[in-house]
């Protein structure tokens, strides 16, 4: 850990102790818990952790840190994967998990306002009697502030869009400790710069998100799910491409490769499933629309050699079908005990998806690495989990080589180095490779809004 400037830190701690009492923590256990996410980065704890309850308390914390030039690291649920939470320069971590109130729900307008610490599962539980739901599902019970900060998406993006499409406005505490509100409850606006979406995906480097105004969606009349297997990943992806080109409005299309299915079958004790490339579909809508979608998709899938269909309409059976997908990460960890998983996160034009996954699988075999694959293939996003033994230097080097090769191939076909996990610490070099001198404009914005580089310093790019 790199400690913050000692004089400034001491002054901040004294001020915040008066403000927060025992909601300012400096114990080693608490700081280390807040110095890592769920990725494979080493722990880099902050010097202190603050647990505010209100916007004014967040503003006071940031004001104290600004006066004394101490770094600030926003923290939601700790589920990020690219080192977003590492305290590279020490400082104060602002844990927003206790700011977890649903402030307002407007069923007539299908929107709501929540504090940043509200998780997606909590929100949907509170919405259950309104006929509405919030659809963005990154696969973890992440906080909505954190999901906004990383521009998260997930399994339902193909139908409902990512956080960028579903955030209408924000409450932000600026690096100087001023509280501002962006956006509105209107469904569109041409009023000035789009500040809301400047902060969506900024990864805590421009300010602290404390409240989020969200777009909600009607709970579909019917939801049905299906699973089918293929002889190869290429055939599965070709089926996905045709489904998308036909404009069939599926809610989810997920791909698991043979190795990932093998892990999931063992972990979830799934009967009747085959360790083969597998697509998971979900359809939302009226009974008539869903039946039409199913019929159209079934025809496409059969034309590409899909087999072993399993359909489900009720929630219990849908959940059983999706068990393999939702437990994919834990299944991989269980299949390779003692190994860490380096999660890649590439997104390419859907026409290049089969080529990119094939390249990744061939490269993994060449480097003798075990690499299950899952993908939100309806929007061209896939994750290869590179399993490696950290105590084996050769495996560490081969894992890094594979990750780099995959990013370079994705960029070569017009893709991006991250579809939903963000840049954090781990992908700064790739951001430069992807955007070139446009990164300098990002630096200009950062310097203008945060001239002292106190907000989550060292993330996204270097100054």
Q: Indicate where the chain has its CATH 3.30.465.10 domain(s).
A: 102-218
pLDDT above 70 covers a percentage of the chain that reads: 98
Kindly indicate the confidence band of residue 311, based on its pLDDT and cuts at 50, 70 and 90: confident
pLDDT above 90 covers a percentage of the chain that reads: 85
- What pLDDT is stored for residue 316 in this prediction? 75
- What pLDDT is stored for residue 40 in this prediction? 67
* 155, pLDDT greater than 70: yes
* 3, pLDDT greater than 60: no
pLDDT tens readout for residues 38-47: 876 789 999 9
* 2, pLDDT greater than 50: no
Q: What is the mean pLDDT of residues 293-311?
A: 89
Q: What is the mean pLDDT of residues 168-181?
A: 98
State both tokens at 233.
Answer: 């990943």
Is 336-432 a CATH 3.30.70.2740 domain? Answer: yes
User: Nearest-CA neighbor of 110 among 196, 189, 218, 182?
Assistant: 218
pLDDT tens readout for residues 229-284: 999 999 999 999 999 999 998 999 999 999 999 999 999 888 778 899 999 999 99
Alpha-carbon span 84 to 35, nearest angstrom: 9
Alpha-carbon span 322 to 278, nearest angstrom: 12
Q: Indicate where the chain has its CATH 3.30.70.2740 domain(s).
A: 336-432
Q: What is the mean pLDDT of residues 332-349?
A: 93
Q: Give the DSSP letter of residue 451.
A: T
Considering the domain 6-97 in this protein, what is its CATH number?
Answer: 3.30.43.10
Q: Indicate where the chain has its CATH 3.30.43.10 domain(s).
A: 6-97
State both tokens at 96.
Answer: 């927003």
Kindly indicate the confidence band of residue 171, based on its pLDDT and cuts at 50, 70 and 90: very high
Phi first, then psi: give them for residue 38, nearest 5 degrees.
-105, 10
* 319, pLDDT greater than 80: no
CB 181 within 8 A of CB 228: no
* 31, pLDDT greater than 50: yes
Kindly indicate the confidence band of residue 383, based on its pLDDT and cuts at 50, 70 and 90: very high
Q: Is the pTM higher than 0.85?
A: yes
What 3-state DSSP class applies to 234? helix
Across the chain, mean pLDDT equals 93
Considering the domain 222-330 in this protein, what is its CATH number?
Answer: 3.30.70.2190
What 3-state DSSP class applies to 375? strand
pLDDT tens readout for residues 428-439: 999 999 999 999
Where does 313-421 show beta strands of DSSP type E?
340-343, 346-347, 373-376, 381-388
Q: What is the mean pLDDT of residues 368-391?
A: 94
Considering the domain 102-218 in this protein, what is its CATH number?
Answer: 3.30.465.10
What 3-state DSSP class applies to 215? strand
203-229 b/e with 16+ CB inside 10 Å = b? Answer: bbbbbbbbbbbbbbbeebeebbbbbbb
Kindly indicate the confidence band of residue 456, based on its pLDDT and cuts at 50, 70 and 90: very high
Alpha-carbon span 449 to 206, nearest angstrom: 6
């Amino acid at each position: 850990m790199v400690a913050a400037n000692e004089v400034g830190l001491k002054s901040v701690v004294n001020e915040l102790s008066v403000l927060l009492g025992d909601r300012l923590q400096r114990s080693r256990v608490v700081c280390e818990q807040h110095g890592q996410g769920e990725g494979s980065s080493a722990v880099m704890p902050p010097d202190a952790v603050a647990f505010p309850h209100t916007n004014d308390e967040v503003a006071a914390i940031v004001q104290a840190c600004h006066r004394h030039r101490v770094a600030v690291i926003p923290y939601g649920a700790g589920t990020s994967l690219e080192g977003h939470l590492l305290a590279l320069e020490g400082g104060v971590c602002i844990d927003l998990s206790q700011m977890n109130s649903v402030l307002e729900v407007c069923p007539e307008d299908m929107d709501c306002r929540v504090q940043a610490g509200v998780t997606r599962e909590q929100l949907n539980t509170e919405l259950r009697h309104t006929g509405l739901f919030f659809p963005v599902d990154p696969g973890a019970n992440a906080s909505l502030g954190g999901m906004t900060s990383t521009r998260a998406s997930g399994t339902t993006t193909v139908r409902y869009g990512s956080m960028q499409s579903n955030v209408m406005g924000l409450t932000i505490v600026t690096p100087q400790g001023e509280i501002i509100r962006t956006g509105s409850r209107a469904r569109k606006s041409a009023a000035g710069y789009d500040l809301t979406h400047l902060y969506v995906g900024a990864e805590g480097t421009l300010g602290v998100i404390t409240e989020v105004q969200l777009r909600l969606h009607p709970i579909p009349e019917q939801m049905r799910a299906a699973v089918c297997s293929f002889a190869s990943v290429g055939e599965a992806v070709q089926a996905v491409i045709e489904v998308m080109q036909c404009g069939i409005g599926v809610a989810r299309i997920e791909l698991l490769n043979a190795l990932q299915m093998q892990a999931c079958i063992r972990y979830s004790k799934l009967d009747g499933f085959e360790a083969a490339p597998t697509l998971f579909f979900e359809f939302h809508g009226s009974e008539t629309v869903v039946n039409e979608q199913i019929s159209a998709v079934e025809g496409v899938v059969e034309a590409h050699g899909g087999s072993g269909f399993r359909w489900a309409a009720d929630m219990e059976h849908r959940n059983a079908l999706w068990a393999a997908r939702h437990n994919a990460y834990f299944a991989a960890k269980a299949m390779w005990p003692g190994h860490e998983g380096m999660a890649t996160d590439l997104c390419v034009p859907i026409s290049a998806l089969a080529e990119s996954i094939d390249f990744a699988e061939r490269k993994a075999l060449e480097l003798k690495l075990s690499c299950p694959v899952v993908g939100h293939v309806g929007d061209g996003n896939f994750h290869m989990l590179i399993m490696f033994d950290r105590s084996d230097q050769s495996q560490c080097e081969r894992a890094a080589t594979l990750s780099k090769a995959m990013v370079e191939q994705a960029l070569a076909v017009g893709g991006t180095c991250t579809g939903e996990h963000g840049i954090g610490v781990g992908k700064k070099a790739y951001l430069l490779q992807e955007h070139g001198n446009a990164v300098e404009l990002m630096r200009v914005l950062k310097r203008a809004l945060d001239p002292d580089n106190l907000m989550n310093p060292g993330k996204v790019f270097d100054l």
